[in-house]
Chains A and B, each alone.
Chain A
Amino acid sequence: MIEVDVRLKLGAFELDAAFRNDAGVTALFGQSGSGKSVMLGVIAGLLRPDSGYVRLDGEALVDVEAGIFVPASRRRIGLVFQDANLFPHLSVRQNLLYGRWFAPRDARRIDFDAVVETLGIGRLLSRSPVRLSGGERQRVAIGRALLSCPKLLLFDEPLAALDKQRKLEILPLIERVRDEFNVPMVYVSHAVEEVARLAPCVVIIDAGRVKFVGDPVMAFSRLTSRPVEDRFDLSSVLSVRVDERPPSHGLTPLRHPSGVIWVAGPVGPPGSMARVVVKATDVVLSRSRPAEISARSALQGKVAHIKLDGPIATTEIELQDDGHLLATITRGALEDLALEPGQGVYALFKSAALDERSIGVARGEGEARGLTSFTSASE
């Protein structure tokens, strides 16, 4: 259980944010400069808030009014930085064991070999971090933070500096860490894919203020909860169930109450739950279901909101039975289709535009661990 309610002024920027969550992973989502990293610094103890408190499992880490400030070194909160920040004068093994050495003896519950095994860094142990690739460095950084046996693990955009291939390698590792070591996490990112995959609870931060707290499906698919973003950053999240794959073509059907989404490739075992990220610019709207068209996925719904921005119109489609979807179209298309709130539409998108590799599947037989335990703590 993490409870945060802090205010901090840094030059012209002001953080005034509060949230609480007891799900395993909390994602802090926001544009760069929104204050999510400042928030992380406050939680880790690297920054002192002007007022307010941070509590972890009921224990105050900082409480300005009560005069409590636990220094970073005694908070036992592991932090994984964007650029790893491994100690260049120590070997990989020494880096991994650094935090463990300072952890109280009875708190060293996380096994060294298990972490090395999970992260696949066994062959790197005797090397110098200077000679590692970006992806390897980030693995070691995750292991180092984890092996300090923290009460809370913080990730500060750990994948932002990596290329797409590396991201797809590391993301499942973070999932495994989440599932195998049972350490609560706060994950900071501005990538919807990462957040949708990892976190059952999203805190959207905009200009130093909390805009929304809730599950990713709600957080990302509603216009009202999104800060003003570039249209290419805008995507929505759908909660789907993986269906049996027909033998032909290798496509996988993902079932949503409003229709079937096809993705090009295998996605976890049938029956499991998954979250799919759909880019708003990839969505085509149609008033009738088109017959001869290459787009394979068509979801039925009706227009809920329309936001105009010059020649661009962002529409929020309320899907039939469950969920929302954002679609960015032009003003011309909006007028030709005579779209207005309440109008029934089909939302179409190309299966080829969805990256099946970035779809995370919750483990277990459909009873997804993260997915069923959404705890929306919005106030």
Chain B
Amino acid sequence: MLLAVTSAQAGIFHEPNQSADIHSGARTGNAKNLNAAASPDRQSSPTVERGPRDGSSTAVSEYTPRASRIEEERAKPLLVFLSLIDLSPAEWTAIWLSLKIATVATFASLPLGIFTAYALARWRFPGKMIVNGLVHLPLVLPPVVTGFMLLLLFGRRGLLGAYLAEIGVVFSFRWTGAALACAVMGFPLMVRAMRLSFETIDRRLELASETLGANRLWTFFMVTLPLATPGVVVGAILAFAKALGEFGATITFVSNIPGETQTISAAIYSYTQVPGGDENAMRLTFVAVFIALAALLASEVVQRRAEKRLGSAD
């Protein structure tokens, strides 16, 4: 019903204004310029192929009236608020893509994250400090540098990318590449939370398990991992939240292609680069805040429940 009203109003108040022109412009040629503007260094990068893939969003023009419509409706705050949630298909695509990329990045890096965290918490091995440093590198490096390094490694003509391309695994300018970038950026956060969790587990519980006949592997899955679950979940949620917000490395590595690699963050960035895009950016900002809050709440709930169940470790 709301849709009907707003589109009717849009019909009434629609003027083919500046904003609409920009949008239609973006559809034809400017999208390329936007992308290029977002990652100027790409032009000089030797290992990358250029440009967005074909058949990206054609939906941009569908919501062009909204900007003007909102201006007219300033007097009706409730309607304005509701209309913020009224998202265009292109925006839904960005949100869906963000969630997909973040979910895949989180779950794909989970086993390696758990393994790394456990190894760092429990094992003593040569080069432990180097491994620790490498894991934390994305946390301290500028994201653009991380993205560029990914490009050098996994670009179609990159060190690993060339080889992977031969067996059909392509990361560059695909959503899978965005997931890879997000996984790398979220990895230090994930490992930190999990490592702390592993470190607080009483070693004697694992010894008790071994004297009861469980070998190391069984002990890990029956005792260590269940006890570390709160930390593992928190680590995963942190990585998920990081993946949702990840921008620098992603846009450097896989560009900003609507429908393929344009996440919420990248879409907001694109909107802020065009005049009159603020309202659209605002809408997506609300969505981003909502998802982030939900993730934080989820981690809080998981932690509370775990504390209640496991009691204070006395």
Contact = CB atoms under 8 A, between A and B. Distances in A.
Q: Could you say which of B208, B212, B310 has the most chain A C-beta atoms within 10 Å of its C-beta?
A: B212
B274 to A, nearest CB: 53
B309 A78 contact: no
B210 A73 contact: yes
Contacts of A76: 213
Contacts of B207: 46, 72, 79, 85
A87 interface: yes
A249 interface: no
B210 A87 contact: no
B268 interface: no
B211 A87 contact: no
Nearest to B213: A102
Contacts of A144: 212
A87 B223 contact: yes
B127 interface: no
A18 B21 CA distance: 93
Given A72-B207, A85-B202, A89-B226, A145 B313 contact: no
B61 interface: no
Nearest to A154: B211
Contacts of A89: 223, 226-227, 229, 309-310
B204 interface: yes
Nearest to B306: A89
Interface in A68-102: 71-79, 81, 85, 87-89, 98-99, 101-102
B313 A77 contact: no
A71 B210 contact: yes
B211 A44 contact: yes
B223 A85 contact: no
Interface string B199-216: 000101101111111111
A359 B219 CA distance: 40
B208 A85 contact: yes
A130 B311 contact: yes
Contacts, number: 77
B290 interface: no
B81 interface: no
A130 B211 CA distance: 21
A73 B214 contact: yes
B92 interface: no
Interface string A116-141: 00000000000010110000000000
A148 interface: yes
A147 to B, nearest CB: 9
B227 A102 contact: no
Contacts of A148: 211-213
Nearest to A129: B311
Contacts of A72: 207, 210-211
Interface string B223-261: 100110100000000000000000000000000000000
Contacts of B208: 79, 81, 85, 87
A78 B210 CA distance: 10
Interface residues of B, number: 24
Contacts of A177: none
B163 interface: no
Size bracket, chain A contacts? 20 to 34
Contacts of A131: 311
A103 interface: yes
Contacts of A45: 210-211
Contact of B211 (A79, A88, A101, A103): A79
A223 to B, nearest CB: 37
Contacts of A98: 209, 212, 214, 222
A128 B202 contact: no
Nearest to A144: B212
B107 interface: no
A73 B213 contact: yes
Contacts of A102: 212-214, 218
A103 B162 CA distance: 51
A88 B307 CA distance: 11
A88 B310 contact: yes
B215 A73 contact: yes
Given A85-B205, A87-B223, A46 B313 contact: no
Interface string B277-314: 00000000000000000000000000000000111010
A45 B205 CA distance: 15
Contacts of B205: 85, 87
A88 B311 contact: yes
A85 B310 contact: no
A103 B213 contact: yes
A102 B209 CA distance: 10
A88 B212 contact: no
A85 to B, nearest CB: 5
A98 B214 CA distance: 9
Interface of B: 202, 204-205, 207-216, 218-219, 222-223, 226-227, 229, 309-311, 313
28 contacts: A44-B211, A46-B210, A72-B207, A72-B210, A72-B211, A73-B211, A73-B212, A73-B213, A73-B219, A78-B211, A78-B212, A79-B208, A81-B208, A85-B202, A85-B205, A85-B207, A87-B223, A88-B309, A89-B229, A98-B222, A102-B212, A102-B214, A102-B218, A130-B309, A130-B311, A131-B311, A145-B212, A148-B212
Given A78-B211, A102-B213, A128-B309, 14 more contacts: A46-B211, A73-B210, A73-B219, A74-B213, A85-B204, A85-B205, A87-B205, A88-B309, A89-B223, A89-B310, A98-B212, A98-B222, A145-B212, A148-B212
